[in-house]
Structure 1
Amino acid sequence: MARPMKIVVTSLLVGAGFGAVTSLANGIALGFADLESRAYTTSGWTLAEIMSVLLDSGWAWAGLGVAVGWLVTRAEDRRPVALAQGAAAGALALLAAVAAYSIVDVIRSGASSPWYESEPLVWWVAAIVLGVPLGAIGACARRPGAVGLLARLTVPVGAAVQMVVLPPGKNEVIRDIGQAVVWTAAAATVCFVMIRFLLVERRPRPATAAKSP
């Protein structure tokens, strides 16, 4: 299979898998929820609901675009080629995720409307408008130096910020658990990325071969 086709297939499969799993997680969480109980509404939680609010959050969807952009590129790719591949992959992955999410939602709910109408138009547009730069960031994550470092820090830092600006969940318990999980994972990821970056930067670089006269 030619590499461009591999990039398309990989992007669509990863995106569709993420969208389907996210929709299923939402459905499972809703099935366990006791919406008639005031105690559950104000302080109740389930593991399924925690998974649901983590998967169906802005940082996770953004992370999908970045991850796919990183996945389909190679360190030896020329910079313009890598950026183009990552950008295309990010948009394709998010479009596939929205489509799969919509299809699974329609199947779960038994709705009679077409699957492509189950989600607002804004999500389809956002998949392209945001998927392109997110995929390009993923491609940059393979680069050395400060650019690569900043690209690798995009998702964990963005996730940590979202927990402050838009806390997850319907009550304080879910919010606290979600924030604890995301902040812990984000801090661990940032530490790993920084340590690896510093170790790579400290490695002795091979001396440049002297030019012959």
Structure 2
Amino acid sequence: MNAAGLVKAMVGAFVVGVVFGGATAGANALSHRFADLESASYTVGGWSYAEVLAVVMDSGWAWAGLAVAAGWLVTRAENGAPGMLVRGAAAGALSLLVAVAAYAFGETIDSGGALSSFVGNEQFVWWVAGLLFGAPLGAVGACAHRAGVVGLLARLTVPVGAAVQMVLIPPGRNEVITAIGQGVVGVAAAVSIVFVVIRFLRSPRRSSEAAGAPAS
């Protein structure tokens, strides 16, 4: 990939991070507007579509999935190219850094705080986490293009991670929201896993059929 292609790829990772961070902050803001926390019954068992959306988007697996998606996005046209893992890692880290900034900016606007104060100590902690985890997750996204077991494991990282988190550390303000979030993510993760595995199992058959086809 030349310099222009690299710049274009990083711009793509930047845009993906901005969109995800801003959308997550927006989902949280929307969920707060629908939550009637002054009602005891709503606090215990109430829910809204906005709250479920916020639970899904603002989960750890979704942020990890952002870095994986960014790594996949910037390397989708260069399978096996030299430096592919490095570019995927850079894209994963960049997407998380930008997403944290966009999220903090959106939260500051929603809370009515001064725009000059949207960067605080908490953001620095998440930026460090973005660097530490974004790079390896972005490299995983780059590996998702590969054939074989490595590619299979890379493609399963996000759905398996989502399923595990929703079982071990389920998010949600109350049990109802938690249960709905677990159901939505669990079904999506199961469908994704089945799709990835079936496609992986069918890929050798397609390769052998192509190799055995007579030349025209």
TM-score between the two structures when normalised by the length of structure 1: 0.93
Equivalent position of 2:136 in the other structure: 133
Equivalent position of 1:104 in the other structure: 106
Q: 1:144 aligned to 2:147? A: yes
Over the aligned positions, Cα root-mean-square deviation in angstroms equals: 1.5
Equivalent position of 1:13 in the other structure: 15
What is the 5 A alignment of 1:109-188?
A: 109-112=111-114, 114-117=117-120, 119-188=122-191
Secondary structure at 2:146's aligned position in 1? coil
CA apart distance, 1:76? 3.8
Q: Which moved more, 1:148-157 or 1:121-130?
A: 121-130
Equivalent position of 1:49 in the other structure: 51
CA apart distance, 1:77? 3.9
Cα distance in 2 for residues equivalent to 1:139 and 1:189: 18
CA contact (8 A) 1:74 1:82 kept: no
CA apart distance, 1:153? 0.2
Deviations 1:152-185 (A, max 9, x none): 0000000000011111211111111000001100
Equivalent position of 1:61 in the other structure: 63
Cα distance in 1 for residues equivalent to 2:35 and 2:11: 36
Q: Which of the pair is proportionally richer in helix? A: 2
CA apart distance, 1:119? 3.5
Deviations 1:129-161 (A, max 9, x none): 100000000000000000000000000000000
Deviations 1:38-74 (A, max 9, x none): 1011000000000001000000000000011001103
Number of equivalences: 207
Any unmatched runs of 5+ in structure 2?
none
* Counterpart amino acid of residue 12 in structure 1: F
Any unmatched runs of 5+ in structure 1?
208-213
Cα distance in 1 for residues equivalent to 2:190 and 2:73: 22
* Counterpart amino acid of residue 68 in structure 2: V
Cα distance in 2 for residues equivalent to 1:9 and 1:76: 17
Cα distance in 2 for residues equivalent to 1:118 and 1:23: 18
Cα distance in 2 for residues equivalent to 1:175 and 1:77: 39
Match of 1:27 among 29, 37, 44: 29
Q: 1:81 aligned to 2:86? A: no
Which 4+ stretches in 1 moved above 4 angstroms?
none
CA apart distance, 1:116? 1.5
Q: Percent identity?
A: 58
CA contact (8 A) 2:104 2:123 kept: no
Equivalent position of 1:191 in the other structure: 194
Equivalent position of 1:72 in the other structure: 74
Cα distance in 2 for residues equivalent to 1:147 and 1:136: 12
